Every structure is written in C-alpha cells, then in structure tokens.
Structure 1
Amino acid sequence: MNYFKKILRYAYPYKKFAFLNIFFNVLYALFSTLSFVALIPVLEIIFSKERTPVKEPVYEGFSNVKDYSQEYLNYFIIENINKYGEFKVLMYMVGIIILLFLLKNLSNYLAMFYSTFMRNGVLRDLRNDLYSKVISFPLAFYSEKRKGDTISRLSGDVDEVKNSVLSVLEMIVREPLTILFSLITMLFISPKLTLFVFIFLPISGFLISRVGKSLKKGSLKVQQEQGTFLSILEETMGGLRIIKAFHAERIFQNKFEDSNQRFYKYSNSVMNRQNLASPLSELLGIITIGILLVYGGYLVFVDSTLEASFFLGYIMLAYNILTPAKAIAKASYSVKRADGSAHRILELLEAENTITDIENPVHKKEFDASISIKNISFKYEDQYVLKNFSLEIPKGKTVALVGQSGSGKSTIANLLTRFYDVNEGSIEIDGVDIRNISKESLRGLMGIVSQDSILFNDTVANNLKLGKPTASNEELKEAAEISNSYEFIKQLPAGLDTNIGDGGNKLSGGQKQRLSIARAVLKNPPIMVLDEATSALDTESERLVQDALEKMMQHRTSVVIAHRLSTIQNADTIVVLNKGEIVEKGKHEELLAKEGVYHSLVEMQSFE
C-alpha cells in the first residue's frame, strides 16, 4: 500500500469533492439502513392479526428502550389502523419506504457525481506530471527503457490507479458505514443474533485477505507484460517497411503472440483471484444468514422473545451487510492491483533526471566569442567514445568533424546541445560552462539539423513554427525560400496548411530534410549544429539541401558533422577524428597535401 498512498497525494487538490463524496456516502449509508428498518411496520401490518386498542407505553429509560420501541410501534400501528383503516396505513408506509429508497439512490448519485471530478482530476494531473517527466528526461534514459513500457505506464497504469481512487473512498466511507449502521440497528433489535454476525465478519475478512495476498505481485506482472507488447507494437509500426522488405512478419507475429500469451496467462490468474472475492463473501454471508434463520426462528417460535416482523426486518438488515462486504472485498483487491500500478508510475515519477539546471543558471541570450571544448572525455556505458578531446570554435566560423562511423562525431553534437553531460572536462560558450547555462537558453542559441528529419503529424506551418511559434506567414515563406523548400510547398494541396502525415511520410526524403532546414532557419540561432544532414539523400536532393545549408550557414557559427566530404570542402577548419581523438586538423587543401587520414577518406569516397 505504500506506493498507492504516495499517489493519493494527487487527490489532495480535490479534497472539496472528496468531502462532498464522503458526506453523500454517509447519507447513502443512513438511508440504506432506514429503508430496511421502515419495512418492519409494513410487515407488522401485514402479519399481525392483533387489532385490539392498547395503552400508549411509557418510556422508562435507555435500558428498556428496545421493549419500549416494539410496544410503541404496535400502539402506533393499531391506533392508526383503527382510525384510518389497514390499507391506508399500508399505503403511507409504502410511500415512506419509496421516499427513503429515493433519498438513498439520490445520495448515491451525488456521491458518484462528485467523485467523478476527483477521479478524472487525479487522472489528468497524474498524466500531465508523467508527460512532463517523459519530455524532461535525457536521451540516455530512453536508450535503456522500452518506449512501449513508458506508454503503458501513462495509459493502463494510470487508469488502474484512477479506478482505485473511488474504490478507496467506498472502502473507507460508504460500505463500512452501511455495515456499521446496519449492525447498530441489528444490535438494537437482537443482541443475541448479532453476536453471530460479529463472529462471522472477522472470519470472512481473514479468508478474503488470504485470497488477495498474491494479487499485487500478479498485477505487476500483468502491467509489465502490457508494456512489453506495446513496445513490440510501437516497434512494428515504426519499422513496418523493413519488416515487409525482409518478409519478417512471422517473426514479429510470433514475438507479439508470445508476449500476448503471457499477458493472457497473468491476467487470468489475477482476474480469477479477484473474481473469487464476491462469491466467497456472499457464500460466507449466506451461511451466517442460515444460522441466523435457525436461531432467530427459535427466538420467535420457541423463546417468544422476538416478534416475527422484527425478525424479518433483522434478516433483511443482515442481508444488507452482504453487498457492502462484497464491495469492500472487491475494492481491497482493486487497491492491491493499483499498488502494483502505482509502483510502476512512481518508478517513472521518481526517476532521477541527470541533465538538470543548477540552482541559479546563467540565462544567456547572445553568443559573442567562441565555443571551447576543453579536454572532454565521454562514455555511453563502459567504453570511452571521446578521450581528452579539445577544440576551439570561433564565432562566425564553420568547423567540420569527419571520420569513420563510431569515431565520436555525433557524440560531440549531443554534448554541445547538452543531450548528454561530459564525464570529464568542460564545454564552454564565451567562457561559461554550458552546465551553468539554463537548458532553455543554451538550446535557444542553437539550431539543429540531423540526419533523421524528425517531423510531426501536423501541417507544414506548425512543423516550421517549432522554431518560432509566433512566426508570420511571411517569415515562414522566407525561411522556406532560403531552404529551397518553397517551390514544393506551393504545390502541396493546401500549401503551408497541408498535413504532412505521421513523421512527414507524405514527403520525400529531400523534402523532409529541407523542411528541417527551414525550421532551423526560422529559429535564426547564432550557432548551427548539422549532424550528417545530407548523408541519406540522392544527388539531386543533396544539391538542393547543400545549397540551402550554405545559405543558412552564412554569418553563423556552424559545427558540421559530415559523412559526405564533398559537402564540407569550404569549412574554415576540418577536424578528423579516429576512435574519439583528433588525428588531423586544417583546411581541405592542407589536409589533402598531408596525404594522411583525410586524404584516404577522400580517396575512398572518390573511388565509390
């Protein structure tokens, strides 16, 4: 229960709705009991043949309250029957019963009405906080976690907790009060009979709790497996082209079916335990009522210490305990399941974000002098990708990083933008360590164009406006022209307002890349980071994109990570990396003249 208790703090802002829910639940419990008590006079009218007027009883103190109540009820009924007739009195009593049931159900509706606002409010706030956490985590977090598992926590786990918030309110307020009010009334009617109920309740609670002990563990397995098959689904949809190309449908079908089979098995186990709660509690209740009928019959027919109408009313009250007892058992199981879900949610909410701002970060608006990379070393896991790497990038210059795959080029882009933090050394902008600059202002200084053109299922305009949300149509057009994308945008069905599909799949690779450049141009940052921006393009697209990049890089500081060396010949400095270290540095012609590593790379690409 510890995890679920932590999640319940989300209900605190909705305490007004919780109190209203509790208030109407108290009324529900009260009217529920009174509606059954009101049946006693009706039974008295129907079954009693005694119609001789009796003397009004005298109240002699609390010790005699039970006998006084029975005698006064008889007196009241006989007096009114003699005055108004049996049928009219019966009609009045039935009217009272209907009114009590109406009030009971109205209270139930209002209790549910206010709990709806609280449950959905908890759901909204919890998902907002989870989403905020999801987008704040560094990229490293998702290299270790399945995306589908994260999606499962935001959907299935949160829903499980939401449903259990209501279960808790019912378990601690409505159902216990219904049982309590019923028991008090039953104790008043017959203390001897009620003794059996007090014996039954703890035995019932013990047996039900024994069944539910393993529920949390089973529920955790269900939620984890749901995360697994959602991950497979997410990977399938993202890689459908490759799956079909390699005719791997059966492989992925088997993976999904295996996971779904485990989910089926775990779900059956959990649901069967949960489903046992209701019939088990009802069976125990019926056994108790059977005992009550035998002993109550003795008190009515043999001992003559209890009237038949009171005994029948008592049995109805006893049966009235069964429904809330079953509800408490089900709610208890629901909370146990929710505790497993709450554990998974809290794992995400309480996970440490390793890339955070310091207490009073520098808010840097301008880039004035240079970027200094000083003796940095970095590793993703165990092996260092960069070792004692140093580089100075003056303002207004273009520095290109080249080298074979795995040499650390893209890692430098990730470190400059602080998607990851260095293990050793520092990166400084105008002499200020980027770890001391707020992430918002640091990334505000930079525009990024990556190899993968990441676009969203939205219009062209809204994709571009990620760079500048307040941009006008004129600014969008200007950015599109600089990136050589305006010509194809004009030909789209709705121009800038055309939806480009999931991941921009309605566009070609070159068009997507030019939109990525337009987005960076619109942002108009002083520093550009280009991570292999042309490596995935055909020759014609590369020419258009390269032209767009050159326009964009004018009067800006640029860090270019290049696979195709033809795209960086005009760079002010070319840095050649090998296994995370600088092996050569200079201009294109200088490096060719050395006939070293760079010369070999150019020769290989020329040959290709």
Structure 2
Amino acid sequence: MKDFIHLLRRFIPPYKWKLAWNIVFNFLSAIFGAFSFLLLIPSLQILFGTQELVTIKPEFTYSISSFSEYANYLISQVIIKYNHEKALIFIGIFIIITVFLKTGFYYLANYMIVFIRNGVVRDIRSRIYKKILKLQLGFFSDERKGDIMARMTGDVTEVENSIMNSLDMMIKNPILIIVSVAVMVYMSWSLTLFVFVMFPIAGYIIGRIGKSLKKESRKGQNKMGEILSVIEEDLSGLRIIKAFNAENKAEERFEKENESYFNIMNQLMWRRFLAHPMSEFLGTAVIIIVLWYGGQLILNHKSSLDAAAFIGYLVFFYNIINPAKAFSTALYSVEKGLASMERIDKILNTQETIVEKPEATPIKDFHSDISYQNVSFAYNSTPVLKNISLNIKKGETAAFVGRSGSGKTTLVDLLPRFYEVTDGKIMLDGTDLRDLKLKDLRNLIGYVNQEPILFNDSFYNNIAFGLKNVTEEQVINAAKIANAHDFIMDTENGYQTTIGDRGDKLSGGQKQRISIARAVMKNPPILILDEATSSLDTESESLVQDALVKLMKNRTSLVIAHRLSTIKNADVIYVLHKGEIVEQGTHDELLASDGRYRKLHKMQMF
C-alpha cells in the first residue's frame, strides 16, 4: 500500500482537482445510497404497523436521527391524509430519487477518474520515452532491447490494467465502507465493534496472497522481456539463422523461454483467480458469524436493535462486504501492477551521466580547432582510451586507423558527448565541451556511420530528418550532392517513396548515400565519418566516396577508416593501438617510417 501511495504522489498532482471532485462525488453517492436504506427501515415499520404514526412535526437538524424522524413524520402524514397504498407510492418515489442521485454522482465520479487514469498512463509513457532519449548510449549496451521494449509496452499496459483500472475502487470503496460503518456505529456500536474484530483476520489472509502475486508478476514481466529480446535478436539475425541451418537451435531457445513464461503465468493466474473466491468465502463466513452473534443478542433482548433494525443493519453490513471484496480484488491488481512499475522505475530512476550544466555556454559556430587534452576513457572500469592528446584545426581532415577494438569509434564518439570522458578534457574553440550547451554542440556535428541508420519513412523525411522548414529544393539538392537523386527518382513515388524498415528496400550503397544526403542537409561545420565505405562493393564505394568528397569540402572531418586508400589525402592520420596513439603524420610520412601504419598498408596492398 505504501508503494501505491508513493506512485500516486508522483503522478497524481497534475490531476489533484479532478481527484478532489471524484472523492466528493463518491462521498455524495455513498451518502444517498446509505439514506435510501436507512430511511426505508422506519418507513416500512410505520407502513406495516410495527411502529406508531408520528403526528407531531419534529424539529429538523442536520443529523441522521433528525432525518429519520422527519421521514417518519412525512410518511405518517401521507397515511393519515390518504392511505397506506399512497404511502407505498411515496416511499417508492423517495427511493427512486435517492437512487437516481446515488447513480448520478457515481457517474460523475467515474467521469473524473477517466481523466486521471488515462492521464497518468500517458504521462508514464511520455516519461519513459523522454528518459530513453536522454540516457547515455552506455545504458543500452548493458540492457537488452527486447526488455526495454517490454517495459515501454507490456509493463505500461500492466500498470494501466492493474493500477489505473483499480484506482476507482481504491477511492470509491473506502468511502462506501466509511459511510456504512458510520451508520452501523450509529445503529449499534457494540455489534460493530464485534464486526471489526473479524475483519483483520480476513485482511491478513488476503494480504499474504497479494504479496505472493506481486513476486510472481515481477518474474512474469522479466521473462516477457527476455522473450522479446530473443524475438528481436532472431528477427535481426534471420539471414544468419537460415544460412547456418540454425532454425532448430533458434526454436529450442525460444521454446525454452516460452515454456518458462507459461509456467510463471500459470502460478500468477492461479493466485489471481484465488482473489474472488477467497474474498467471497471470507465475506460469507463473516456475515454468518455476525448473523449468529446479532441474532443471539436480539433473541435474548440484549441489543438495542429490534428485528427490523437488525435486518437493516445486515443490509449495511453487506454494503461493506461487497466494497471490501472489490477492494481486496483491487489490492491484488495493484500488487501485480506495482511489480511492473518497479521495472519501469529501473529506467526512470537511472542516473543520467551526460548532463548539461545550468550555466552552459551557447555556441552557434566552429571557428578554430578541436583539442583532445590527456583524454582517457573507461567503460565499466575497463580502459578504452589512455592519455589521448591531439589537435585538429578548422578545415582539416583527421583520420583514425588501427585494429578493431583499438578505440577509434569511442574516440570520435566523445566529441558529440555520446560518452563522457573519464579523465582529461576535450576543447572546442578553447572551451571544454562540458561547458557548452549540448544541443548547440551536436548541431555543429554531422554523423555518417558504417551501418546507415534509416527510418521506415519516405526518402524526403529521412533526408530532412531532425530539421524544420525544409524545402523540397533543398532536399533534392542534398540528394544530388550525395549521388542519390537518380535512384530515388527511379522509384514509384520518387522522394515520397517509403524505404521500409531500416531502409531494407535499398542496397547498402543506396542506404549510405541517403545517410550522406541527410548529413549534407544538416550542413554541419564538423563531420564524423565512421567507416562509411567499409561494407560496400567497389562500384558503390566509388559513388559513396565521391559523395563524401563533396560532403567533406570546406569542413573539419574526423574519419575512421579500415581501407587506407580512402584516407591517403587526409591532413593528419592517427594510428591507434590498445587505446593509445602510437603514430601520427601524413600518409607519405607514415609510409616512410617503418611502423604499424606501413604494416597495415602492406597487408591491404597484398
């Protein structure tokens, strides 16, 4: 319950007035529901002659007894002036009016809860998505994509179905119980005291089952995340699975996870479906015990209640049983939903390591140089870069070569602050990157990587991605510079043709040229090229290389390359080995020295 209240404190404040109105309407609904039964008892006693007619008009005050006495007086007047049949009609109209008010206020309470339920779910989804966009790339290296997707979809849906659907019951039922208990105490405080001795026993049993439900639910959501991860991996690697005849292996892995989820959900559902019969049984047992105890008191004339009042008392007691059962069911659902909320909070509560300082300096252009000063970087305490120092002047092309795992990509990823340096600093025009506005910094940098990242959208929207107020002429011009215009126009709908999931309708060279066109559209003064041609055939490489030459013109470029032929014209080449710069110079200077670069060059020429 403490976790549920904490959840409400986090997400309910924007809807506090709607919550207040919901409570008011639920309270009014409970009041009119109570009075429809409470005033019916003396009315029927007078109607059937078990109580004398009231001929003297009572003084009216705002109390339960005053309302009861005044109702008796009105019914007595109808019987005196007309007859018992008219009084029966009067009672019927009275009940219809009170029930109408009860149900009307109940609807208004639900009307308000709709805003709260749907608003909280919307806010949770928005917070998760915004958080994911803000989190550093290292977070996603540690997490499985399928599990993150499960939290954004399945866990949010579970919170919606379990917690938000139960929110109305969690508010309405306590109000009904409080109003009914107040009336019961008014009718017989001693009998009500006995009732409250019985309820904690039932509550304890229900609470124990609810806790076990939360535990099983957490297991189920974790397992669903693992299943989604398997599906995502297998869909991405379907070509490899088929090529290696590994369908049976993939199927076995999936079936193992699926069977485990099946067993967990069986345990969960068995406990969940135990909620209703358990609460039904316990409620009935308590009613029978109260009926036995109260009946004994009345038969032995030890109670202030007569038989008719005791029947009314039991009606109010039954009004507690139903909300209590619904409340217990809601508790089961809330416990199940809180397990999903814990998984969501793992994302929401993750500390952001790439943060912008409050007094960060805006930057609109790049003027002089980029300087790495004794930069070191470790990922999860594993050293990746060690004491890197270099300087790249505006307009220069700096290339980075070395074996896979030597730290080339990490080195350039530090510039747009995809990761934060562990030691040292990177300066842009003499200012530490950490002192600059993050969005301004990234606006200065264009990125073309080895595997083009495209979206399931049109050519036009992929090229203009992230930009506002873009004209078609600008998009076409960017595509021409990237040697992409011709193949785009050969498609069915030209620039409005959808390129498929991750651009799967295109060849590798076409994807890369769209990626280059996107960088051209951004028109950044600094360009990062991460092995942009390494996976292409010779013809595609020629077209892409030509597009890259146009793109790099008059820009400061950081180029990662495996094919040394593509960087022979670079102003400076840095050779990395095990996270350190072991050589630097021009292509000719490095070939003249008998070092690591020359060995790499000989291997490629061979």
Structure 1 length as normaliser, TM-score? 0.91
Q: Which residue of 2 aligns with 1:175?
A: 173
Question: Which runs of structure 2 are paired with 1:394-409 in the superposition (5 Å)?
Answer: 394-409=393-408
Structure 2 length as normaliser, TM-score? 0.91
Q: Which residue of 2 aligns with 1:153?
A: 151
The 8 Å contact of residues 4 and 343 in structure 1, kept in 2 or not, is answered as no
Q: Which residue among 189, 198, 205 is the counterpart of 2:196?
A: 198
Q: Which residue of 1 aligns with 2:215?
A: 217
Question: Could you tell me how far 1:164 is from its partner in structure 2?
Answer: 1.9
Q: 1:493 to 1:55 in 2, by over 3 A?
A: closer
Q: Which residue of 1 aligns with 2:22?
A: 21
The 8 Å contact of residues 43 and 71 in structure 2, kept in 1 or not, is answered as no
Q: 1:198 to 1:576 in 2, by over 3 A?
A: closer
Question: Which runs of structure 2 are paired with 1:327-406 in the superposition (5 Å)?
Answer: 327-406=326-405
Q: Which amino acid aligns with 1:157?
A: D
Q: Which amino acid aligns with 2:152?
A: L
Higher deviation after alignment, 490-499 or 307-316? 307-316
Q: Which residue of 2 aligns with 1:461?
A: 460
Q: How far apart are the structure 1 equivalents of 2:156 and 2:20?
A: 23
Aligned pair count reads 602
The 8 Å contact of residues 377 and 386 in structure 1, kept in 2 or not, is answered as yes
Q: Which amino acid aligns with 1:213?
A: K
Q: Which amino acid aligns with 1:140?
A: G
Q: Which residue of 2 aligns with 1:539?
A: 538
The 8 Å contact of residues 45 and 90 in structure 1, kept in 2 or not, is answered as no
Q: 1:58 to 1:392 in 2, by over 3 A?
A: closer
Higher deviation after alignment, 592-601 or 106-115? 592-601
The 8 Å contact of residues 4 and 338 in structure 1, kept in 2 or not, is answered as no
CA RMSD of aligned residues (A): 2.9
Q: How far apart are the structure 2 equivalents of 1:296 and 1:73?
A: 26
Q: Which residue of 1 aligns with 2:515?
A: 516
Q: Which amino acid aligns with 2:370?
A: I
Q: Which residue of 2 aligns with 1:317?
A: 316
Per-residue Cα deviation, 1:262-309 (whole angstroms, up to 9, x for no partner): 333333333433433333233222223223434555566664965443
Question: Could you tell me how far 1:480 is from its partner in structure 2?
Answer: 0.4
Q: Which residue of 2 aligns with 1:7?
A: 7
Q: How far apart are the structure 1 equivalents of 2:311 and 2:360?
A: 75
The 8 Å contact of residues 3 and 342 in structure 1, kept in 2 or not, is answered as no
Q: Which residue of 1 aligns with 2:595?
A: 596
Q: Which amino acid aligns with 2:271?
A: R
Q: Which residue among 77, 86, 89 is the counterpart of 1:88?
A: 86
Q: Which residue of 1 aligns with 2:271?
A: 273
Q: How far apart are the structure 1 equivalents of 2:579 and 2:68?
A: 94
The 8 Å contact of residues 38 and 96 in structure 1, kept in 2 or not, is answered as no
Question: Could you tell me how far 1:467 is from its partner in structure 2?
Answer: 5.2
Per-residue Cα deviation, 1:451-487 (whole angstroms, up to 9, x for no partner): 0100011111111112533221111111100000000
Q: How far apart are the structure 2 equivalents of 1:128 and 1:192?
A: 52
Q: How far apart are the structure 1 equivalents of 2:378 and 2:475?
A: 39
Question: Could you tell me how far 1:3 is from its partner in structure 2?
Answer: 4.5
Question: Could you tell me how far 1:166 is from its partner in structure 2?
Answer: 5.7
Once the two structures are aligned, what percentage of the paired residues are identical? Answer: 48
Per-residue Cα deviation, 1:141-167 (whole angstroms, up to 9, x for no partner): 111112222222223333344442563
Question: Could you tell me how far 1:115 is from its partner in structure 2?
Answer: 0.9
Question: SS at 2:414's partner residue?
Answer: helix
The 8 Å contact of residues 575 and 586 in structure 1, kept in 2 or not, is answered as yes
Q: How far apart are the structure 2 equivalents of 1:393 and 1:258?
A: 53
Question: Could you tell me how far 1:49 is from its partner in structure 2?
Answer: 6.1
The 8 Å contact of residues 148 and 232 in structure 1, kept in 2 or not, is answered as yes
Q: 1:602 to 1:366 in 2, by over 3 A?
A: same
Q: Which residue of 1 aligns with 2:426?
A: 427
Q: How far apart are the structure 2 equivalents of 1:321 and 1:518?
A: 68
Question: Could you tell me how far 1:562 is from its partner in structure 2?
Answer: 0.6
The 8 Å contact of residues 28 and 174 in structure 1, kept in 2 or not, is answered as no
Structure 1, unaligned runs of 5 or more: none
The 8 Å contact of residues 56 and 75 in structure 1, kept in 2 or not, is answered as yes
The 8 Å contact of residues 57 and 73 in structure 2, kept in 1 or not, is answered as no
Structure 2, unaligned runs of 5 or more: none
Residue 525 in structure 1 maps to residue 521 in structure 2:
no
Q: 1:447 to 1:58 in 2, by over 3 A?
A: closer
Q: Which residue of 2 aligns with 1:30?
A: 31
Question: SS at 1:416's partner residue?
Answer: coil
Question: SS at 1:214's partner residue?
Answer: helix
Q: 1:78 to 1:409 in 2, by over 3 A?
A: closer
Q: 1:406 to 1:210 in 2, by over 3 A?
A: closer
Per-residue Cα deviation, 1:372-420 (whole angstroms, up to 9, x for no partner): 1222222323442322222221211112112221222212121222211
Question: Could you tell me how far 1:587 is from its partner in structure 2?
Answer: 2.5
Question: Could you tell me how far 1:45 is from its partner in structure 2?
Answer: 7.4
Q: How far apart are the structure 1 equivalents of 2:234 and 2:261?
A: 18
Per-residue Cα deviation, 1:97-121 (whole angstroms, up to 9, x for no partner): 2332222222222111111111211
The 8 Å contact of residues 158 and 337 in structure 2, kept in 1 or not, is answered as yes
Higher deviation after alignment, 421-430 or 138-147? 421-430
Q: How far apart are the structure 2 equivalents of 1:50 and 1:369?
A: 102
Q: Which amino acid aligns with 1:24?
A: F
Question: Could you tell me how far 1:72 is from its partner in structure 2?
Answer: 7.9
Q: Which residue of 2 aligns with 1:127?
A: 125
Q: Which residue of 2 aligns with 1:264?
A: 262
Q: How far apart are the structure 2 equivalents of 1:440 and 1:374?
A: 23
